[in-house]
Chain A
């Protein structure tokens, strides 16, 4: 600890040691340790047998790692079904939703329309309304279409509740694109479709990437709507599978924690890989807006 504090001091400011910065750094590291402790605890438990969980301390690393917890949890938690469902739903919903939102945002930002402003307000409104408020009518609606326990039945509401935020961000971005850029293309006789595809999509790639990551994580993690719309366990997604696993096998500590690790790992990996992209996209949008 002392050694690392000294390196920090050396980095932070050379001769006059800035004690405020050093104590700040120490407190940030302590908070980070607290923040990461649950992960350590979960991973350690996931590798222990039930007997080891009961006898060893929470932060004792597993002496004899039980990787069988993972294979057992995979089978009992029906992960081979839930992973496939989650992948299909996410792989369809995220790109499709972004594409629809980008088209709509372009139209609202660059084509003068009579009710453009009104439509924009209606869509902005959607960024604020939580769907958790109306799970029952969503069920009724999807049931009316005969789409309970189907992929479209869950993807369509997901799209509907993802569109507002994406349109909102992309609208702000498109509006700031200089007029000359789009007008030049339009004068050359290009249709709005071509202008959108050739001019606007390429320049908005960083924003689209950031929205893609955000939406991937949100879709992958979504629980409440899936709980209502996917009742057949053959259609369950990962979060539903984890919830059911906890309900049934909460006393198999090792396996339960292995199930948690397997559920959250994909989102963590995606986040760690695209982190830079994600943060830069988010902050550049926020500063401009």
Chain B
């Protein structure tokens, strides 16, 4: 009977419903995020019971004595800029096309989206084989066009390896932007489009003055998600190049992993993670503010 009374208390019920998810989330997601900041001030191999406090030495080392860090930093910036520009643009074009009454659009949509559901590591394995300079798909296509002299060592040439890897990423991520844009296009006011048509607006005018303004929110969401997912690019680079050749495709997330888990310098690895975390937060916090404001004005 006492048990019943306790369970009928609203606060107890709330705690029981909310508690399990909250505890798991705080322990296994929030705590590591704080821990990585803490660890960045220590010298530690990950296993020793003793951690040596070294102040900001790890940051100094990373910024001044680690040339790979700056390569990784540059690559992450390039990768982010490219993934903000290219996949969303293709995704928008495809979504606009699929929004027309055309034959087989469900099948087309399914095809564009298919690479999104494939494991990134499998995408990397597929593309590594397609980039094989001798028997891979791209080499063979160029050869059959009589351009065998032009077949580059896609992943072995340090000038182009990053862009080759990015090609695989485009193939994988376009479908995701497309689906978001398709959803956004559902929200475009159809009677407004009709009215514009009747007033004699051409296709371009309708797109420019009706569709595009209505897609502004979707556009922001797509771009922010593109930035965040490019900052965490890990699997695809790990699987395609492992950061090579000669660290030329190293990325921040992968370099942090390599420092901690392979070189066993948890302090330096954490310092790199903190840099990446700071960059992520610089994008995330304004975005969360923006979406909260949007919600408040909607209410």
Q: Which residues of A approach B to under 8 Å, CB–CB? A: 7-8, 11-13, 20-21, 24-25, 27-29, 31-32, 35-39, 41-42, 45, 53-54, 57-58, 100-101, 103-104, 106-108, 111, 113, 119, 121-126, 128-141, 156-157, 159-161, 163-164, 167, 191-193, 196, 217, 220-224, 227-228, 238-239, 242-243, 246, 250, 253, 256-257, 259-260, 263-264, 267-268, 271-272, 275, 279, 282-283, 286-287
Contacts and interface: CB of A to CB of B under 8 A. Distances in A.
Contacts of A286: 180, 183-184, 186
B150 interface: no
B145 interface: no
B140 A119 contact: no
B257 A191 contact: no
A157 B28 contact: yes
B32 A141 contact: yes
B22 A131 contact: no
B81 interface: no
28 contacts: A8-B102, A28-B94, A28-B108, A57-B144, A58-B135, A58-B136, A58-B140, A100-B20, A104-B20, A111-B17, A133-B232, A133-B273, A133-B277, A136-B39, A136-B269, A137-B270, A141-B28, A159-B28, A160-B24, A161-B29, A196-B17, A221-B118, A243-B121, A246-B125, A257-B129, A268-B114, A271-B117, A286-B180
Contacts of A58: 135-137, 140-141
B63 interface: no
A206 to B, nearest CB: 15
A135 B117 CA distance: 23
A286 B120 CA distance: 25
Contacts of B86: none
A220 B56 CA distance: 39
Nearest to A106: B17
Contact of B29 (A131, A191, A223, A239): A131
